[in-house]
Amino acid sequence: MSEFLDFLRHQFAYVAIGEFKPGKFKEAEELFEKAVATYATGFKGAYLLQLPNTDKGIAIIFWESVEEMAANQSEAYQEILKQMTPLFAKLPDTDVYEIVSEIQPKSE
């Protein structure tokens, strides 16, 4: 029964879509990795996507719950965000999405 209840509990994804100043994507990537390294309880994984040959990207960070996401906003994390902010061409669009469907490839 526990596995079934775990299945019913949806996870969340923090999504940020933005563009960095010309040539700043690599520096932003390094700061993203440092920020993610500060996460602990409730963190389920992260992706940083880059539109090829541009400074545009999408960050997706998966969380067990919105409360755990908020609990990971540590002082170290905030300091890294302060370093990243000037790299943006404009502030990114951010939202928190509920994961309502997950489809895994069939095992061979």
Say if CB 11 and CB 69 are below 8 A apart: no
Please name the amino acid found at residue 80. Answer: I
Give the model's pLDDT for residue 84: 95
Stated pTM of the model = 0.86
pLDDT tens, the chain, 108 aa long:
445 445 556 799 999 999 999 999 999 999 999 999 999 999 999 999 999 999 999 999 999 999 999 999 989 899 999 999 999 999 999 999 999 888 889 987
Say if CB 93 and CB 16 are below 8 A apart: yes
Give the model's pLDDT for residue 90: 93
Helix, strand, coil percentages in the chain from 3-state DSSP, rounded to 5: 35, 35, 30
Looking at 12-70, which runs of residues are DSSP E strands? 12-20, 43-50, 56-63
Give the model's pLDDT for residue 71: 93
